[in-house]
Structure 1
Amino acid sequence: MPKLIAITIDDEQPNHILLKRVIDQNGQLEVVKQFTHPETALEKIREIKPDVAFVDIEMPDMNGLELAEKILAIHGQTHIIFVTAYSQYAIEAFKVNALDYILKPVDTHEMNRVVRKIMNRTSQQGLESANEAQEIMHKGRILCMGDFEVYGKHSYQKVHWMTAKVEELLAYLVIHLGKPVDKWKLCDLLWPNLDPNKATTNLHTSIYRLKKTIANEQVPLQIKSNSNGYWVELEECLLDYQEFVRLSTDLLRSNQQPDSEKVVSLLMKAETYYRGELFENKAYIWSSAHSESINQMYIRLAYQLIDYFDKNQSIEQELEYLNKLLRFFPYEEKACILAMDIFEKRKDKPALIRQYQQHSQYLMKEMGCTPSLKVEKHYKKLIKIL
């Protein structure tokens, strides 16, 4: 089994040396990068996509708790392990959905304990089992939610496209899977300011380059064509967009309440496919309508899971899905209120205040407004109780 990718973030270089030594002794993680500045680490998170981040809490430029929230907002699959000299940070650590924390000086026994927890959690996540994940890796993957990533069969390396237009062409055809797209529509989409002859030449060249890259990288899909246009057909390949829509449509259309393990399992599987906005790292204007539809599906699924765990008094899991929902959609009033309710039940006044402040700051920064009267009244009521 390949080692999990790890990074360490600490403002003091000697701590990096000691921490890496203990991690290396365990042998199940590979430290690929060590950062002394939080901002530099954040710039690299999307590129590295670490499985594990060891984060020092006491840093002068940015508090480790704040840094962890920003890491999870960029790459929600990262396991956060806090490294601290003070045990009182333990409660704070779990408020930002950290997996665990280690006290300094870090010893081998503590590291082994934390790594076992990471490995157990990793084995439970993703696509239900290591065998299924391995099978999907062999088949190839096209990931559209969050970063747009394409992988060929038997490969962990992302496909690199000859040009941005070739990549966008594939993205558009994938979203319209199996449906012929008129060649003139593709020309208008990709080269709206060129004369028709030049645009047609560019389209033919891009199709040729797309087919060549697909063949070279062993991406299991085919580009089909007729006299009017082009379309994509998948062979043995996972398309996260397709799987998410299929599962979500079935679950939401049937209006099944998550009252059985089977339904909850399907909800959780659908939820794992959502890694962010459709083609989040691209500026495809044409994808906005599709993206909004996907976002609304995810929000509905997330609330069903949150409701299920609330009814079953599984507060940690409820809060986990609330945190993820709020990372993607910090404007969600209902999620904000539910999170504040949890903190009130826990008698955790600082967390309640922080939740309200985060909601308020986002609304002011992004929309130039303050929380609704409903949220404000609810917040004041809870504060009085505490």
Structure 2
Amino acid sequence: MKVIVIDDEPAMHYIMSRLLGKFPGVEVVGCFEDTVSAVRHMEEHEVHVAYVDISMPRETGIQFAERIAQLHPDLHIVFVTSNDEYALHAFELAALDYIMKPVMPERLEMSVNRARALFHSRETAEEPDANPVRIYALGGLEVQTAHGSVKWISRKSAELFGYLLLHQGRVVSRVRIIADVFGDMPPSNAEKYLNTSVYHLRKALDPHGLKSIVQSDSEGYRLHIVNASIDFIAFEENVKRLAEIESSNLEQALESEAQYVGDLFGERGFGWALSDMERLSALYAAFVKKLAKVLLERHEEETAVRMLNKLFNRNELDEETVELLLYAYAAKKDQASLAKLYRNFVKGLRLELGIDPSKELEAVYARLQASWHAG
């Protein structure tokens, strides 16, 4: 099933492509910032479903749906929006679905399944010798192949996969694995659970043709994966490539920011992964701050505010993030949000740490407030 994404915010292209790309048989054949480009593509290529933002300049998603009904009556429209006021109108236009942002994977799956049912077609599997592997470890732990998602048989088998994944192909001794992954068990039980977890892991990977990637020798175990994309590795490489953010690579920077959907392994919270989790988290924070400064220079305050709030929710006591948010709200002329942010930050500092903001931040806030009243 061929789908396209139409949204004037480039970051949504990456988010939707990543989410849709997890569903077997779904192919994202294009992402467009305006409806004109999308229609031009549909004139020359087959498209079955369009995921369309409603609030866009020039032609809204609603206007697009009304027009496209005449040009491409077989196209199914799924509206993806931050506003629910258009829901009734959307379904009057026979929209396939109406999804609210932020898009949840479970909600998107319902939409994809609905589209599949309309086409009366079964999901298509790729050839066995061309079986790309996608590994998502930011925000959780998921392995996707052409055959779907790997179903973990046990919690420890999933943890073992994550542990070997983090060692990126190196052989890890049984002694070290037992100490790191099974250290809370008596030695005799730990040895047994390691063997059982290896068995469960290989059994879970077998339906995907991946049983052989768990390799062992007299020393220990390793993962040997060919043709795999691993999100946290790709994120780190992208950030290093984007040492300088400018107009030519701004969209790539936005895509990289959107790629970081959560900390390494998410709520699983493996103790042995703590240092890597903190390193990637710090890398993400520094990258967002650098990107936000570029966006503010380009007067793209809305996008900057969205990213900085995402960062602020991760650490509400980070003064540098707060300072950038204050500048962003001031640029938006949003005095209410500016004042509320500062009050809450001061309250949080005093409650959690028993301190006041730095003199520098106090001066920034006073200057922004003064400039507001002067204007």
2:346 to 334, 356, 360: 360
Matched residue, 2:313: 327
Contact persistence 2:301–2:332 (CA under 8 A): no
Contact persistence 2:171–2:221 (CA under 8 A): yes
Alignment length, in residue pairs?
277
Q: Distance in 2 between matches of 1:295 and 1:245?
A: 11
Deviations 1:260-302 (A, max 9, x none): 42x3233233222211111221131111110111012112221
Q: Distance in 1 between matches of 2:344 and 2:202?
A: 47
Matched residue, 1:384: 370
Given the alignment of the two structures, is residue 188 of structure 1 paired with residue 188 of structure 2, yes or no? no
Q: Distance in 1 between matches of 2:184 and 2:84?
A: 57
Contact persistence 2:308–2:325 (CA under 8 A): yes
Contact persistence 1:81–1:102 (CA under 8 A): no
Matched residue, 1:127: none
> What is the root-mean-square deviation of aligned Cα atoms in Å?
3.9
Matched residue, 1:141: 134
1:269 to 255, 260, 273: 255
Q: Which stretch shows the higher mean deviation, 338-347 or 364-373? A: 364-373
Contact persistence 2:253–2:291 (CA under 8 A): yes
2:278 to 292, 297, 301: 292
Q: Report the alpha carbon displacement of residue 329 of structure 1 after superposing the two structures with TM.
A: 3.0
1:369–1:313 Cα change, 3 Å: same
1:213–1:220 Cα change, 3 Å: closer
2:237 to 232, 243, 246: 246
Higher RCO structure (Cα 8 Å, ≥6 apart): 2
1:180–1:198 Cα change, 3 Å: same
Q: Which has more radius of gyration? A: 2
1:337–1:195 Cα change, 3 Å: closer
Matched residue, 2:245: 258
Matched residue, 2:117: none
Q: Distance in 1 between matches of 2:272 and 2:156?
A: 14
Matched residue, 2:59: none
Given the alignment of the two structures, is residue 227 of structure 1 paired with residue 218 of structure 2, yes or no? yes
Matched residue, 1:169: 160
TM-score under structure 2 normalisation? 0.63
**Stretches of structure 1 lacking an aligned partner (at least 5 in a row):** 5-78, 83-97, 123-133
Matched residue, 2:114: none
Look up the equivalent residue of 1:377 and give its one-letter code.
Answer: A
1:320–1:116 Cα change, 3 Å: farther
Sequence identity percentage: 24
**Stretches of structure 2 lacking an aligned partner (at least 5 in a row):** 5-51, 56-79, 104-124
Look up the equivalent residue of 1:101 and give its one-letter code.
Answer: N
Q: Report the alpha carbon displacement of residue 117 of structure 1 after superposing the two structures with TM.
A: 11
Matched residue, 2:205: 214
The 5 A counterparts of 1:6-45 are none
Matched residue, 2:169: 178
Secondary structure at 1:146's aligned position in 2?
Answer: coil
Given the alignment of the two structures, is residue 199 of structure 1 paired with residue 186 of structure 2, yes or no? no
1:152–1:265 Cα change, 3 Å: same
Q: Report the alpha carbon displacement of residue 377 of structure 1 after superposing the two structures with TM.
A: 3.1
Q: Distance in 1 between matches of 2:331 and 2:251?
A: 27
1:314–1:168 Cα change, 3 Å: same
Deviations 1:147-174 (A, max 9, x none): 222333342xx43322221111111111
1:259–1:365 Cα change, 3 Å: same
Q: Distance in 2 between matches of 1:354 and 1:234?
A: 49
Deviations 1:120-176 (A, max 9, x none): x99xxxxxxxxxxx99x9623221111222333342xx4332222111111111111
Q: Distance in 1 between matches of 2:54 and 2:233?
A: 33
Q: Distance in 1 between matches of 2:95 and 2:367?
A: 39
